[in-house]
Amino acid sequence: MNEAAFLARLRTLPLHPGAGGLTDDTATIAGLTVTTDTLVEGVHFLAADPPQDVAWKLVATNLSDLAAKGAIVEGVLLNYPLRDAAWDSAFLDGLDAALAALACPLLGGDTVTLPAGAPRILTVTAFGRDAAAPPRSGAQAGDALWVTGTIGDAGAGLAIAQAGTGDAALLARYRRPAPRLVEGRALAPLVHAMMDVSDGLLIDAARMAAASRLAVTIDLAHVPLAHGVTDALAAATAGDDYELLFAAPAAAALPVAATRVGTFAPGAGLTLMQDNRLIPLPGRLGYQHGLR
């Protein structure tokens, strides 16, 4: 069963009103915005990645979901599998650094024993307050699709980590993403829909369009790329960028730097252009769990 089919089945189960129909990355309960993310060794990080960086990424990916809601961070819960004392200690060093740098206190969590040879599975649940952004389903026909920062950095960084050599800045974008908390707070009152780019620009834009019951067109020529990243299609399907993707009027006066990459219109589905020329959709729009 792939991720989409599993989520569709989950939506038939008894849901809390704050779950929002499981159409977003966060839930709301008692005035708090709640999100959870899991990193799996061999899927979300490499076995050779430094444990300090794994800890940072674990916290940052959760806070990125809060950033997309314009929320103020309250804290996190950590579920952690104990196995190797040296790795565990280095992970705690990285966790300490991440929590301090991102102003995110630890609330508690759980520890378990990990059998020898089993991949590490790490989970954080994050809590935020005063969320001001609308759900991803709020895009309106005629809105422009915008994205902060650059796209494809983390995909290039993963390739560098696998090769063992390359641009240190791109490697850092893969290992230590920066949740756009300040930008999210500034954008939240002004946008119609917002989410973070976790699985890839194309697939996440398609998800926003589907949730909003609209069609979206993206021009690859407008996708912002970092120095050293040259393949726009590979960048737009790579994922792990944790930039903010949002719908707002094309003429909006934005309080943060962002690039217009597409447009919403009545209809359904994703259309891909390059320099105003229609191009076929790739077989893979981004990362989906359960697909091989």
Nearest to 196 by CA among 169, 220, 222, 177: 177
Nearest to 258 by CA among 250, 266, 269, 268: 250
**72, burial (CB in 10 Å: exposed 0-12, middle 13-18, buried 19+):** middle
DSSP class of residue 31 equals T
Q: Which CATH number fits domain 136-279: 3.30.1360.10, 3.40.50.1460, 2.40.50.140, 3.90.650.10?
A: 3.90.650.10
CATH class of residue range 3-129:
alpha beta
- Output b/e per residue, 18-56; b: 16+ Cβ within 10 A: ebbeeebbbbbeeebbbbbbebebeebbbeebbbbbbbb
User: Tell me, what amino acid is at 205?
Assistant: A
Encode pLDDT of 85-99 as tens digits: 999 999 999 999 999
pLDDT bucket at 290, cuts 50 / 70 / 90: low
**What is the rounded (10 degree) CA torsion for 11, 16, 17, 23?**
-30
Encode pLDDT of 236-272 as tens digits: 999 899 999 999 999 999 999 999 999 999 999 999 9
Encode pLDDT of 114-128 as tens digits: 998 899 999 999 999
Rounded Cα–Cα distance for residues 11 and 19 (Å): 10
Q: Rounded to whole angstroms, what are the CA distances from 116 to 62, 84, 210, 249?
A: 27, 9, 42, 53
DSSP class of residue 107 equals E
Encode pLDDT of 148-168 as tens digits: 999 999 999 999 999 999 999
- Global pTM? 0.93
pLDDT bucket at 292, cuts 50 / 70 / 90: very low
pLDDT bucket at 284, cuts 50 / 70 / 90: confident
Encode pLDDT of 185-241 as tens digits: 999 999 999 999 999 999 999 999 999 999 999 999 999 999 889 999 999 999 899
**Length of the chain, in residues:** 292
Give the CA diameter of the chain. Answer: 56
Sheet with 215-219, edge to edge strand ranges:
193-196, 244-248, 144-148, 258-265, 215-219, 269-274, 277-279
CB within 8 Å of 155: residues ≥ 6 apart: 174, 229, 234, 235, 238, 239, 240, 241
The residue extents of the domains of the chain are 3-129, 136-279
- The whole-chain average pLDDT of the chain stands at 94
Rounded Cα–Cα distance for residues 135 and 114 (Å): 37
